[in-house]
Structure formats: structure tokens, C-alpha cells
Chains A and B, each alone.
Chain A
Amino acid sequence: MDISEFEQMDSPTQDVILEVEKVSKSFPGVKALDNVSFTLRRGEVHAIVGENGAGKSTLMKILSGVYQADQGTLRYKGKAVIFRDVNQAYEAGIRIIYQELNLIPHLSVAANIFIGREPLTRLGILDEKKMNADAATILNRLNIHMDPAIQLNKLPVSKQQMVEIAKALSTESEVLIMDEPTSALTESEIDELFAVIHTLRNQGVAIIYISHRLEELRRIVDRISIFRDGHSVSTDDYSAIGMDEIVNRMVGRKLENKFPPKQNTPTTEKLLEVRNIVRTGLLHDISFDLYRGEILGISGLMGAGRSELGRAIFGADPMDSGEVIMNGQKLALHSPADAIKAGIAYLSENRKEDGLAVKMRLTENITMANVYEISKRFGVLSHAKEMEIAQRYVGELLIRTPNLVQVVNNLSGGNQQKVVVAKWLFCDSKILIFDEPTRGIDVGTKYAIYELIGALAREGRGIIVISSELPEILGLTDRLLVLHEGKLAATLTTADTTQEEILSHAAGLVTARPGNTAF
């Protein structure tokens, strides 16, 4: 149901700060926005959700002056406006906070907030005192508690994000756009962020909140607009619409289950035995087994050592002591090359930073970990064979790409993840360690990734899934390890556990468990 028109007529116009009317925007070959309409009111938190490619970011770029609409009207405070560039939108009071922070690590919090317009003394020297005092005022107004003189990189990411918000709102501003603000935050940090967002809303700031994490919207969102394939599907009061309905409208079809039915049956055959892994300060004496055909989850709070454990097994970081035994054979893991040779793959949580060479082609990324396979004599590569292999995986994994030599930077997050999977399938990996496999991936593609993981386990591979999303761990795995401050806090059977139990282990609330005297 499209009720946005109804709402536009009914709501008092002085409440509305920003109206987007029938805006369209095309790029060569794609219509990114098609007749999109939506309204934003003062003092509301307005979520915009949609799969990747739904047009959210294009609209945000129009609102912030990066792009201009081909057709349609932008009405800001009742007047039709066109933002020709970023400065015009900024002058008008529209602020955007991107997923990646735009701060300078070696400067103080205050210096970051006032960068580009530092207060000066009469002699033209930086007025540090005034800058710190003004910064403190701004931080106080937002209910953010921190010392403005502290160096930025001494703060955790969540606090840095607050600095970004303070910087954005340090000048007169009325609209704040936040793109995936919680993607790098822990649960408690999210609470802090939401408290700040509440404060802002109560001060009358209109907030557009973009997120893939649908679960968290409930806690802060007043209204929600759903985008799909460049169209605005609907706008509703958040309380009037259920989670299932949101997901249905996003994908345009019914997604009965967020997780596919179980495909794999774990065997009793030990594929991997991890014994007493120690990495000083990070991992303390961790042991576990992985069985053929099993999906094993690794859960824990941020900083508990989840990724560190995965990377240690992969030989990406050196371990101080411990053994990794695969098929009864002790592995000498000095580098990822050793792990790959043994048949272990690690799919990093940061696809773009260390999973893919984004400037290189799809073909080249798929073959990157196994270039030997496409080599002829004297290290000469077979182009034909490489194309054939890429074609095969693009078909098997349904990677959406206009062609095989596309530069992977131009693919969507879900398709990039599939390229990474293809890379490791081409190595014939027996053990795949997925670190946050669905981070930044939209709902529809998540399902496909889950299916893929299930299928890989059914083929007799061993799968380790590291995830900060408990529903993902519960929906996907057979057993799970819970880490707490680098120690193994519990090994649980997924079918017999609950989110609450996992969380209490992760938070270190369970002080003793059978068979472990270390706690």
C-alpha cells in the first residue's frame, strides 16, 4: 500500500522540512531513481531501507548536492531548490555522515570538529583554548561525554563516530543523513549512538537513517520509507508495519524464511582439530574440533578474538603456541600460503580492504589464490582457461556481472562476496572460514549466501562462520563457540541454545561451566 500521498496531504506543512517530488536520475545504462517521492519532517528519525541498488545512496547524493536530479523537484523548507554542489547543500543545513569516517586521526577531538574554520587569536595564531571550550559546548549539547582535547585515534570507533556527528552539527544544521552508522559498533556502543540520535531528534533535527540492520530500527525510527529498484515503494509509521512486511516490500516477493532449511548433516569425522592456540593478549588456550559437513559458529562480543581466531587458523597472523591438525596431520602454518595449500580458506570481514583486489577484474580475482591452476609452462597464464573458469563460477554462484572482465569494484556487495567464495572454491578448499559473511549485504542476497554456505557444508566441507549477528549464528550453524576476552567461554549445540544463553556467555556472566576450571 502506498500511503505516502495520503500523509503528505494530511500533515501540517510547517512540519515538513524536505520534500522529494517525483525525482528521477539516470546513469548510462541504469535508471537509478524512477519517480521517487518522499517527505521528511522536523524532529523525526526517518529510516530508508532497501536492497543494494534500490536507489538509497543515489537519493542521498542528490540531497547532499553530489548529483542533481534529471527530473522532479526538491522542496526544502517550502521552496523548490537545486543543490548544484556539496557546498550549497551544506550551506542550506543538510549534513551527511558516511559509513567511512572522515576524520583526521592525529588531531584532537576539538581540532577535528573545527577543522577548516579554526578560531584564531588576534595575532592569527590558533586559539586552542577557545576551540576546546566551544567543542565542549557542542559535545554537551549533544549529551556526548568526552574530553575535547584528547587525540582522536585514542578513542574507540564509536566515540569517533560521535565526533563526526558533533562536527556535522557544530554549525547550523537541520537535516542529518546517516549512512549505516552502526556497521562498526558493538551493542553497547549502539546504545550510546541511539541516545545521541534521540537528543538530536528532540532538538528538532530531521534525521534520515539508512541501515541494513533492520532489527535495530525498532529502537529509534519514527517512520520508514522502503525503496526497491529505484522506486519509492511506501512510507509508513514504523509502529504500523511489521518486520516481515518491510522485508517483503524490500525484496518485492515473499521471503518466508530469513534462513534456508538445513541442508547439511554433520558427520562424526574430525576434519580439523585446533589445540591450545595462544596469541599473547588476544587468544588464550583455545581448543575445538570441526567435523566434516559441519557449520560451526564463532560468536562473541567485539574484541573477544573472533576474527583473530579465524586468522590464526589461516596462518594470517602468527600464533605463539598451539597446533592445528587437519585430517590427522599437524599443519605448519607460517603464512596463508601454507593454509591454502592444506585446503583452508579465510573469507575476510572486510571484503574491500583485504578480500579482493577491487581494481582488478572478476576473472583475476577468482583465480588469484590458485594462479598455478591456470598456468602453462614457464608460468605463462592461459587466458582461455581463466575465462572458462570464471564463466563456470559466475554461472554456478549466479554472480551478477555484465561481463567476465568487469572490475570488481563495480559489482554490488553481495556479488563481490560471491567472487570471494568463487576464489576459494577454485582452490578446492576443504575448510572455509567465513568472517561476517553478510556484512553490508542486502536481505535477498543474504539468503543466497546462507544457501551457498549450507550447500558447501553438504558437500562435506567444514565451515566456520564468525558472526556478530546472533540470528545468523542461530539460523545457520550446527554448533557454536562463544568467546569472551580471548578465551573459549562455551561450546554450545545450536539447537539447544538461545540468544540469551549465548549473550550471557559472551558477556562473561556465566562464571563456571562443566569441564572447565579455568573460569
Chain B
Amino acid sequence: MSQTITENMEEVRQIQPTPKRFGLALDKFITFAAVIALFIIFSIVAKNFFTLRSVLSLLLQTSAVTIMGIGVTFAIITGGIDLSIGSVIALSGTIAVMVAIAGVPIWISMIIGLLVGGLCGLINGLMITGLKLPPFIATLGMMMVARGVALTITNANAWPAPEGFGNLGNGAIFGTGPQFPGIAYPVLMMIAVAILFSFILSKTRIGRYTYAVGSNEEAARLSGIKVNRVKIIAYIISGLLAGLVGIILASRMVTSQPNSADGYELNAIASAVIGGTSLMGGVGTVAGTVIGSFIIGILSVGLTMAGANYFLQKIVIGLVVIGAVTIDQLKVRRK
């Protein structure tokens, strides 16, 4: 067949398999450079910012936002959103604690907490694909329901968890005493989650389908991709990672906190958006979200250490979200 067609065309061109893409590499470099620049600025402005202790604490504080940001990145790339993250964190954390209090071994209760997160994600996915609800509405409903369930089962009280429940959130490895407290488990989990889900998104079939569904849902369906299944998986990932953050936070506080993590979903969405994920779907990376959450993390830790109050932090982070998306829009328009 190829010969017939070639005969009638004069030219056969040599095609470069991949182009030299300075442009794109530069974009990523700039975002990364922003993190470094912020870091350097705060090292100068804030005393004690550039110390091992504060870097370790920065990593620990940022781990929660990063993990849930990675989860919501999947939902956003399919063209959706997950507003239920904060409530799902509270629900899976409280259920894990309550189950542990009831005498279930701690590691099993934590797995149950994780599964509760995944189940919430599954329900979100089913509402979006089965009932055809807009993701905003489905996850808004889940946000309220999950919070309500968390408050109900705890009677709105903070119940102390059994001994040993706090190890996951407060433990560390390689610690050598007060000089070097070690790398906290949540930080290790953040690194593992980032590597695993970056791989899934960029190198596996489900990752490819996630982009395809977000880029053009109908084209994906007509290519035989089971669009509903892909969306459900994306919301399960978002729910599971919220569940993971839920047990980490419950473990750090060693109590069930039904009111915790209120509004965290917005930080997660912000970190994805700062990292270049498009709310229109089809665009985004795990690496971008990690960078985005670190920009938020460095800003809040840095501003605190530089003596700025909490309200100023809110203002600055809000401006960064607006600025990052503005730059993205300008790039699109320039093309």
C-alpha cells in the first residue's frame, strides 16, 4: 500500500523523531528555578530557614499537600475536580482511629482508613459517570456528607488513639538525635507516592487514558477507551491519596479529629494549578504538582519564619495562584 501512495508523491521527507524543545524545557526550568529562588530569598530574609532542621520540617509540612495534590491532579487531568479531599481526609482519619480504639490492630485500622478514602473516591466516580453529575456537584456533595459522617461517628469529639497509632506520623528513620531528627515517615511516603504516580501518569496505559479522556472525551470513547472506567480510577486515586493523608494526620495528632483538614482541597488544587495542570483537562504532570506544593510550602514556612503573620501568607499564596495561571494563559495566547 505504501508504495502506491509514494509513487504519486514527489517527496519523501526525513522526519526528526523528536524536536529540540528548548521552550518547554525552559518552562519547567523556570518553575523549578522559582522554588530555588524562593528558598534562597528566605534563607537570607529568615533566620534559621536554611538549617537542616527547618528543611526537614518544611518537607514534613509539605508532604500532606503534595500527596493530596498528586491525587487531585489525576481528577483534574480528566477534566474534573475533587472538592471532597479535605472531608475525606477527616473521615478516613477518624474511622482509622475509631476502628483502632475498638481493638483492631493498628496497621489493619490504617488500611481500613485508606480504603475508606478509596471508597469515597469510588462513590465520587460512580456519581460522575453513572448519574452523570458534574464533578463539581458530586464532590461538593461528598465533601458535606463525608464531613457529616466524620462528625457523627465521633460525636464531634477528638478521641485519643491507642498507643502505637502515632508512629506513622511522628516516626523517622536515620535519626541521630536532636542534631538530626531523621527523615520523617510522611516525607518518605510523599517521595514514594510522587515517584509511583508520576510513573503511572507518564508511563502506563491508565496514565495515557487519563490524558486522552481529559483532552477529548468523545475521541477517547470512539477510540475504544472505556471513559467511565478511566474517570472512576482517577477519582479512586484522588480518594486513596486523601485517605493516606487522613491516616498520616490522625497519626501525627494521635487522635480522631473530625474537624481537621477543612479546606485542604483548595491547597491541593492550588498546588496542581501552580504546577501547570489545566482545569480544562488534558494537561498536567505529577512533577509540576510537586513543585507547586513546594512553592506553597516554602512560602508559608518562609513567611512564618520571617515573622509575617498567617493572614499575609494567605494573601501571598492567593497572589501566587493567580500569577501562575496568568503566566500560563499568556503563554497560551502567545502561541
Listed in ascending order, the chain A residues whose CB lies under 8 Å from chain B are 260, 263, 314, 316, 335-337, 339-341, 346, 348, 353-360, 364, 368-369, 371-372, 375, 378-381, 383, 387, 391, 394-398, 400-406, 423, 447-448, 451-452, 454-456, 458-459
Contact = CB atoms under 8 A, between A and B. Distances in A.
A448 B1 CA distance: 12
Contacts of A383: 203
A440 B132 CA distance: 33
B282 A357 contact: yes
B138 to A, nearest CB: 23
Interface SS, A side = helix
Contacts of B225: 337, 368-369
Contacts of A336: 221-224
Nearest to B14: A395
Given A360-B211, A404-B18, A448-B5, A346 B222 contact: yes
B25 interface: no
Given A354-B216, A401-B15, 6 more contacts: A336-B223, A353-B218, A357-B220, A403-B15, A405-B17, A447-B8
Interface residues of B, number: 35
Interface of B: 1-2, 4-6, 8-9, 12-13, 15-19, 203-206, 208-209, 211-212, 215-216, 218-226, 282-283
24 contacts: A260-B8, A316-B221, A316-B222, A336-B223, A337-B226, A354-B218, A355-B222, A360-B215, A368-B223, A368-B225, A379-B204, A379-B206, A381-B208, A387-B17, A387-B18, A396-B2, A401-B15, A402-B16, A404-B15, A404-B18, A447-B8, A455-B5, A456-B1, A458-B4
A443 to B, nearest CB: 14
Contacts of A368: 208, 212, 219-220, 223, 225
A250 B304 CA distance: 67
B13 A263 contact: no
A357 B219 contact: yes
B236 to A, nearest CB: 16
A394 B16 CA distance: 11
A371 B209 contact: yes
A451 B5 contact: yes
Contacts of A406: 19
Contacts of B224: 335-337, 339-341, 369
A230 B125 CA distance: 50
Contacts of A400: 13
Given A391-B17, A403-B17, A455 B1 contact: yes
B208 A364 contact: yes
Contacts of B212: 357, 360, 364, 368
Contacts of A451: 4-5, 8
Nearest to A444: B9
Contacts of B219: 353-357, 368
